[in-house]
């Protein structure tokens, strides 16, 4: 059995960028698509030799969360966008006809 111990602050970043990404996921057959509206946040930790980037994304309508994580790619925005695109799936219950 474990009991709660000491708590300490690890990091607090005040520089956060907010972005909006809209993704269209098409059906394999037919002219149907689902639109995903992602809210992206990027936190920046400035270091002595390099900056560190952390990202998260939320799609409220479909209740999908990509949790905070360190972004490793040089193109950190592309990295978080790719995560959003990979999570965006065609949903038959939420279709729009092209």
The three-state DSSP-derived secondary structure of the chain is CCCCCCCCCCCCCCCEEEEEEEEEEECCCCCEEEEEEEEEEEEEEECCCCEEEEEEEEECCCCEEEEEEEECCCCHHHHHHHHHHHHCCCCCCCCEEC
> Are the CB atoms for 34 and 96 separated by under 8 Å?
yes
Residue in 63, 46, 47, 44 with CA at minimum distance from that of residue 55: 44
Least confident of 6-10, 18-22, 59-63: 6-10
Indicate the pLDDT class of residue 28, thresholds 50, 70 and 90.
confident
pLDDT at 52 over 90: yes
Q: Can you give the pTM of this predicted structure?
A: 0.84
Token readout for 34 is 């689902």
- Residue 92 has a pLDDT of 80
pLDDT at 9 over 70: yes
72 exposed, middle or buried (CB, 10 Å; 0-12, 13-18, 19+)?
exposed
pLDDT at 94 over 80: no
Domain map (residue ranges) of the chain: 57-87
pLDDT above 70 as % of the chain: 95
């Amino acid at each position: 059995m474990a009991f709660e111990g000491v708590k300490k602050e690890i990091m607090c970043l005040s520089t956060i960028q907010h972005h909006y990404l809209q993704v269209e996921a098409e059906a394999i057959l037919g002219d149907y698509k689902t639109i995903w509206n992602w809210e992206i946040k990027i936190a920046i930790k400035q270091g002595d030799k390099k900056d560190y980037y952390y990202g998260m994304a939320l799609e409220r309508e479909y209740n999908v969360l990509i949790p905070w994580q360190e972004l490793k790619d040089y193109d950190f925005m592309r990295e978080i966008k790719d995560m959003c695109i990979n999570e965006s799936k065609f949903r038959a219950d939420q279709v729009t006809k092209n």
